[in-house]
Amino acid sequence: MPFLQKLSREALLAEKLGKGKVRCLACAHRCLTAPGGAGRCGVRFNEGGVLKAPWGYISGAAADPIEKKPFFHVLPAASTLSFGMYGCNFHCDFCQNWQIADIKAGRPAEPERVSPEELASAALASGAGIVVSTYNEPLITSEWGAAVFTAAKKKGLRTAFVSNGYATPEAAAFLKPVLDLWKADLKCFSEENYRAACGAELSRVLDGIRIIYSSGFWMEVVTLLIPGFNDSDAEIGAMADFLAGLSKDIPWHLSAFHPDHLRRTTPPTPPETLARARGIAAGRGLRYVYSGNIPGAPGQDTVCPGCGSAVIKREGFSVTRNLLDKTGACPCGFRIPGVWA
């Protein structure tokens, strides 16, 4: 899109090579481009031997509860200002934001031009405590996200990524000074399905999740359970084993699929699948496993492993009870990991 080329700046997450070629470091694709070329995301491009990255606009912004991102172990009931841009480094056939993520199919509208300071001020004025880069993949707009987060930090706000987890060590180090929270997807546990459905590699996703966790971001993981795609006992168990191997305290959100984009003939995920998956995950040692996208389904509350009490009760995206203190301690004394103060 012509306007996307205008709304760009020189990328910081880039390595200049010989003969005008540039390697992008923003995501695990590590695209190598020659002058006139673009990365897989379509929004990071080589202009005369300089990699350009999106800057100075948003595709939209909205006030959302933190539970919608979803983060369940971060400031319960806090308000966020969520913003997005255009483009994605994946091409998931079940994408629910394909109108802005797939710039070829989505035909994006003219974006809203804004500065980082204006966006941070809007967040503060709305009463938000957290600014979130989301809707499209934030890794491919890391430089813009970092600028917005820097402005937000100056106003005392927290910051978050809602991402597919295709992280690199360079991107994590670049973002660490200004980014607090990171939601990462684990879409399946099959190399074949990751390539076919998303245009990505499972091994690099697993590396990305390890990088995010080891870099010290507060991380929660989401898996959209799709019938016939990633909902077998074996695959759910493999995903649970991987996460538990990092930490049994990583919150894992199991969300129900609804037909969308190019996967409209697949049926919605039944509640029984979420219940079965939660049971498998608990059996593999994960302490905090949640259900999503089905109103009223069991598995929305945070249960204390120490005493078994539902210390945070939720209805949809609303918090109806929170018994934790600012350190995350249950009345029984057991401390639940998260960002509570």
Q: What is the pLDDT of residues 79-126, one digit of tens each?
A: 999 999 999 999 999 998 888 888 776 566 789 999 999 999 999 999
Q: Over the stretch 268-315, which tens digit does the pLDDT of each residue have?
A: 999 999 999 999 999 999 999 999 999 888 999 999 999 999 999 999
pTM value is 0.96
Residues 111-146 as b or e (16 or more Cβ within 10 Å = b): beeeebeebbebbbeeebbbbbbbbbbbbbbbbbbb
In which band, very low, low, confident or very high, does the pLDDT at 31 lie, cut at 50, 70 and 90?
very high
* CATH number among 3.20.10.10, 3.30.572.10, 3.40.50.720, 3.20.20.70, domain 57-269: 3.20.20.70
Percentage, residues of the chain above pLDDT 70: 98
Mean of per-residue pLDDT scores for the chain: 96
At 61-87, the pLDDT tens digits run 999 999 999 999 999 999 999 999 999
Mean pLDDT (whole number) for 243-255: 98
Provide the pLDDT for residue 2: 62
Q: In which band, very low, low, confident or very high, does the pLDDT at 260 lie, cut at 50, 70 and 90?
A: confident
**pLDDT at position 103, please?**
77
Report pLDDT for 325.
97
Domain ranges of the chain: 2-54, 57-269
Burial 255-293 (b: 16+ CB within 10 A, else e): bbbbeebbbeebeebeeebbebbbebbeebebbbbbbbb
**Residue range 171-184: mean pLDDT, rounded:** 98
